[in-house]
């Protein structure tokens, strides 16, 4: 009888060890698949959701007087937004009055411009989201960056007069990308070939391991004849936001000065052709630098939008 109990105990212990080993194996497999924190396209968290312009509940409930902790991934040029508060649903700003990410627009007839000051359309929305910390002076007028606002020429992201916003924006600092110093090499902007960044169903690969809306690799490529310069990169955990800081036409060989001090960074991509996100071998590379005529506005641009030389 004692031997029978002993055998049962050994069998039970073996089963427990097997289950633990199996769980560890699953964890190891997941860790290998995801890569390290710095290499993986992590599952979207509250901040990453903001790439779709949705306000996260935790941001709405957070303090507008407590600064967010600075976070960097892979480079000192790839960090979270300085001076943002916990309530700001990055990469958007929070309207301190309505506690939403929608800022009212005064009146009608306001034009939206790209980063060369060219008109994209006349704004038809009565409110807009604003990308945090983004300001420029175009045509001697102060502008802020309106995100995905309806215009007479479709939904676009571009510059609107700061005076058109029906709120005091003095709470929002002006945020610029870090100047890495050193020399620059000459590149120019082109219309990217987006085909390599589509899955077998013709849909965009994802920059985050999700099949939800947004988070598309093609968001960083040729869209509406324009290409975006972004403040930081997508696919990190904690998320950085990867918000647009400039939008340029891609048909006139605009010069891009690539910072030699910053190596290119690659972000993993995921296919949803099967209905679930699967990591693919292709990556999306980004270069850091500035566009001709905007010496203080450093940021990241996806490499398929660029060619070396003048």
State how far the alpha carbon of 94 is from the alpha carbons of 17, 223, 232, in Å: 51, 26, 19
The answer to whether residue 86 sits within a structural domain is: yes
Quick one: 190 and 302 in the same domain? yes
pLDDT digits (tens, 9 = 90+) for 82-112: 999 999 999 999 999 999 999 999 999 999 9
247 preceded by a cis bond (ω within 30 of 0): no
What pLDDT is attached to residue 296?
Answer: 92
Predicted pLDDT at 47? 27
- With a cut of 60, say whether residue 57 has pLDDT above it: no
Domain assignment present for 62? yes
User: Does residue 157 sit in the same domain as residue 203?
Assistant: no
Residue 99 DSSP label: T
Q: How far is 128 from 38, CA to CA, in rounded Å?
A: 33
Note down the domain range covering 127.
Answer: 49-164
Quick one: 209 exposed, middle or buried, by C-beta within 10 A (0-12, 13-18, 19+)? buried
Higher per-residue pLDDT: 16 or 74: 74
Read off the pLDDT of residues 1-51 as tens digits, 9 standing for 90 and up.
444 443 444 444 443 333 333 333 333 322 223 332 233 222 222 222 334
Q: Are residues 219 and 291 in the same domain?
A: yes
The structure tokens 């009212």 sit at 104
Is 291 a domain residue? Answer: yes
- Domain boundary at 131, 164, 197, which? 164
Average pLDDT over residues 112-135: 98
Q: Is residue 10 part of a domain?
A: no
Q: Which of 130, 164, 198 is the last residue of a domain?
A: 164
Mean pLDDT of 51-72: 72
Q: Which two tokens stand for residue 159?
A: 């510059």
Region 252-261: mean pLDDT is 97
Number of domains in the chain: 2
pLDDT, mean over the chain: 85
178 part of a folded domain: no
H or E element in which residue 26 lies? helix 2-34
Q: Would you say residue 174 lies in a domain?
A: no
Quick one: pLDDT band at residue 59, thresholds 50, 70, 90? low
Residue at a domain's end among 136, 164, 192: 164
Tell me if 11 is assigned to some domain.
no
96 with 204, same domain: the answer is no
**pTM listed for this prediction:** 0.82
- 73 contact partners, CB below 8 Å, separation of at least 6: 38, 79, 233, 236, 240
Q: Are residues 65 and 156 in the same domain?
A: yes
Q: In the numeric block, which tokens belong to residue 292?
A: 């001709």
């Amino acid at each position: 009888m004692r031997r029978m109990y002993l055998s049962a105990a050994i069998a039970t212990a073996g089963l427990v060890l097997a289950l633990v080993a199996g769980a560890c194996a699953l964890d190891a497999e997941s860790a290998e698949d995801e890569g390290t924190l710095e290499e993986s396209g992590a599952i979207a968290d509250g901040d990453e959701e903001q790439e779709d312009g949705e306000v996260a509940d935790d941001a709405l409930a957070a303090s507008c007087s407590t600064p967010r902790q600075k976070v960097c991934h892979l480079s000192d040029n790839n960090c979270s937004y300085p001076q943002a508060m916990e309530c700001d649903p990055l990469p958007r700003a929070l309207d301190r009055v309505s506690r939403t990410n929608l800022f009212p627009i005064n009146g009608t007839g306001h034009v939206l411009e790209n980063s060369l000051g060219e008109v994209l359309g006349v704004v038809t929305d009565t409110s807009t989201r604003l990308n945090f910390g983004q300001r420029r002076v175009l045509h001697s007028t102060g502008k802020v960056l309106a995100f995905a606002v309806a215009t007479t020429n479709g939904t676009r992201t571009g510059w609107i007069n700061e005076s058109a916003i029906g709120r005091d924006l003095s709470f929002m600092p002006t945020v610029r990308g870090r100047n890495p110093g050193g020399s620059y090499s000459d590149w120019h902007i082109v219309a990217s070939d987006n085909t390599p960044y589509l899955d077998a169903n013709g849909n965009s690969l994802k920059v985050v391991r999700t099949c939800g809306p947004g988070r598309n690799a093609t968001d960083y490529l040729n869209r509406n004849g324009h290409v975006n310069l972004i403040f930081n990169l997508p696919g990190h955990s904690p998320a950085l936001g990867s918000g647009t800081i400039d939008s340029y036409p891609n048909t006139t060989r605009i010069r891009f000065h690539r910072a030699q001090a910053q190596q290119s960074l690659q972000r993993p991509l995921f296919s949803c052709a099967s209905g679930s996100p699967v990591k693919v071998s292709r990556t999306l590379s980004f270069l850091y630098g500035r566009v001709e005529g905007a010496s203080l506005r450093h940021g990241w641009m996806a490499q398929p939008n660029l060619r070396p030389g003048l």
